[in-house]
Structure 1
């Protein structure tokens, strides 16, 4: 790698599942009406133009990599042994660690996730070529709004984000808990008005309502939250002080809700 010093690893080749008998991952090409074909292992540039089918989760193609013990500081919230599923015919980079620390390994011992200290920061290196393809779609949408990620994939990415923030003694400006992973949080900050708007959107089609949502808001350094409210009704949201911000228990809602937090 040209950025080997940053990654803390050196490239040792392309790896994955090359046996067609152990592959049930299929693809299609834009504008091609031919039946779906099996993914071909390798680094042929034409392969990158394919659209991987994700309506149905593969079975033969699946492999796993697991988080090593004693890595909680670098991956907060991710337990040792947590296993992530990956579509092995899509391939991964086989790497040789230098200054990097291995956080997760494939079943054959190859690193799946490493971290390297660079200056005051951390550089995480995820060796699967397409970790974001570890999901199943909603089966009928051409461009689905929601992706059902396989076990621990989202959680591992969240652990990297939290690990990087913790290394800088920082935290997310907004955190939501007490709800399912199908609830999406979007935050828009209006700097000139000293406030942020927090949107909660429930993508779970089987959910009648979202209950028990707990919200933490951390304003910019040196600021203090003075008010939280629901803009549709003007109803105040009660909150209590916590380290770095405030915490609030939100009302029950169906599909969408919004909270505004103002600071001074």
Structure 2
């Protein structure tokens, strides 16, 4: 074997060794870079915080459900103070959107409107009033009046002054909305102390003029609509002054 051949063989072997070392170094470097990237990503994920976002586009006035929400991570420095967190989800279920919201948009209280809780006043139509009055045993017909009954409230209103007079007043077809604090038809708690009536604005004003002078509660037949009868002529009140009559 010539010297020249041996030299070429050694050079070739050296090149193979160098290539193997370069390949191994590249592989090790790739693994190192990948591990570092994973570590940095894990660190970044660990530093990120969960935020509540809308899962789909929602129109204005939409009632929010759990299916409309999801959680997503954001860097702490990117999160606004008014963004809600996943633990707030149940508190906003049932609220409505105040404007259009897009999918992925963080949930904020400013984008939601708290749903009004149902209350006793919901049974009133626009312009109606619920008026509560203390009642006596005869006014409640000794416990026979029930929620939902219709009654007539009758009494005498007085007008004072130079032409003092009294007039019979009847407020008819008044619905009993509640007995004491009960609003259910099945009420069995003994004799009540108050009745709550459904009034129009005019009826409410008439009742306020009537209640101070005392009134009776007339129970009506449930399916009949009662009409007012002609008021009796005013009763003139005569006052005796120093033996004379006015």
TM-score, structure 2 normalization: 0.22
Structure with larger Rg: 2
Instruction: Name the one with the larger helix percent.
Output: 2
